[in-house]
Amino acid sequence: MLTILFDGIAYGMLLFVLACGLAVTLGLMNFVNLAHGAFAMAGGYVTVVLMQRYGVPFLACLPLAFLAAAALGAVAERLLYRHMYGRSHLDQVLFSIGLVFMAVAAADYVMGSSPQNVRLPSYLLGRYEVFGIGIGVYRLFLIGVCGALTIALQLILARTRFGSRLRAAVDDPRVARGMGIDVNAIFAVTFAFGSGLAGLGGALGAEILGLDPTFPLKFMLYFLIVVTVGGTSSMTGPFVAALLLGFADVAGKYYIPQAGAFIIYAVMIAVLMLRPNGLFARGVTR
């Protein structure tokens, strides 16, 4: 039971890192970006290529995956996403589905359709037994990295000048512009940062989630669930939702494997029925 809890937390943390970029774009900027998983996939593939072809050690790959995905995100934001900010949700959905299609086909063309795996270094393998709880070293590593990221992210958003500017730009772009805040630049940096986090998540998660060209489609829903269930007003909501989801998924697979993803979808619908704006929503609907 405690082992499942531990694995669930590790999985949930991973989901949060993968989804928190989306929590910013979708949650704060109100942009339905179904293509978020494509950036995660990019991070995963960068890691695979660096490790297999160039022999770069795993730990060095992680920041590189972040940078690669962030660069990709920055380019995509400047060229494409920027034009879609004020559009209807339908336009945003169609636009990002189009991007997903392109990403899936492109990944298939470049990397082939077979699943890739990341070979973890030996010091991240193995398990410890602590008070009867089986603790995988890699799971522990995940919790450490993702926990640190979560805290850093929360501090950036809540404490720094950039964080308060971002919140201002999101709440009321017009007034923010009037106050001399460069809203465009802030959105661009935020988008790139979110994409970078997705890429890092993809690199960290390739071993657990698997990596093949359909990745953006397969996990699109998980990211969306994390954000919608968590609510779109703070980072706490998605974080709690990611932990819940991770735990429910791991426990569900362990106890009732025949139910598959059924439980998660049912829970999502139930939560959205009771609280249409997510678990931790402020009262206003935007």
What is each CA distance from 71 to 49, 77, 190, 203, 224, in whole angstroms? 17, 10, 12, 15, 23
Examine residue 186 and tell whether it contacts another protein (CB under 8 A): no
CA distance 130 to 46: 35
Secondary structure class of 283 (helix, strand, coil): coil
Q: Does 241 bind another protein (CB under 8 A)?
A: no
Of the residues 4, 71, 106, 188, which one makes contact with another protein according to CB under 8 A: 106
Between 127 and 253, name the residue whose CB sits nearer to another protein.
253
The piece of 3-11, 66-74, 242-250, 252-260 that touches another protein (CB under 8 A) is: 252-260
Confirm or reject binding of residue 251 to another protein (CB under 8 A).
no
* Residue from 49, 108, 145, 210 binding another protein (CB under 8 A): 108
99 in contact with another protein (CB under 8 A): yes
Q: Return the beta strands (E) in the chain as ranges.
A: 127-130, 133-136
Does position 115 interact with another protein (CB under 8 A)? The reply is no
Backbone angles phi, psi at 261, to 5 degrees: -85, 5
Provide DSSP, 216-239.
HHHHHHHHHHHHHHH-SS-SHHHH
> Is residue 255 a contact residue for another protein (CB under 8 A)?
no
- Which residues contact residue 121 at a Cβ distance below 8 angstroms, ignoring those fewer than 6 apart? 57, 58, 59
265 binds another protein (CB under 8 A): yes
Distance in Å, CB of 217 to another protein, minimum: 7
Distance CA 158, CA 152 (A): 10
Is-contact 219 40, C-beta < 8 A?
Answer: yes
Should residue 284 be labelled a site residue for another protein when binding is judged by CB under 8 A? no
Find the length of the chain: 286
CA neighbor of 149 nearest in space, from 102, 203, 97: 203
Among 14-22, 120-128, 199-207, 225-233, the segment contacting another protein (CB under 8 A) = 225-233
Question: Which C-beta is closer to another protein: that of 30 or that of 160?
Answer: 30
Closer to another protein by Cβ: residue 109 or 123:
109
Per-residue binder mask for another protein (CB under 8 A), 34-63, x = binder: ------------------------------
Do 200 and 243 touch, CB atoms closer than 8 A?
A: no
Check if the beta carbon of residue 77 is closer than 8 Å to that of residue 193.
no
Beta bridge partners of 20: none
Of the candidate residues 80, 133, 137, 188, the single one contacting another protein (CB under 8 A): 80
- The answer to the question of residue 183 lying near another protein (CB under 8 A) is no
CB of 91 or CB of 182, closer to another protein = 91
Q: With binding defined as CB under 8 A, does residue 111 bind another protein?
A: no
Residues that bind another protein (CB under 8 A): 26, 32, 80, 83-84, 87, 89-91, 93-95, 97-106, 108-109, 217, 221, 224-225, 228, 232, 258-262, 265-266, 268-269, 272-273, 276-277, 285-286
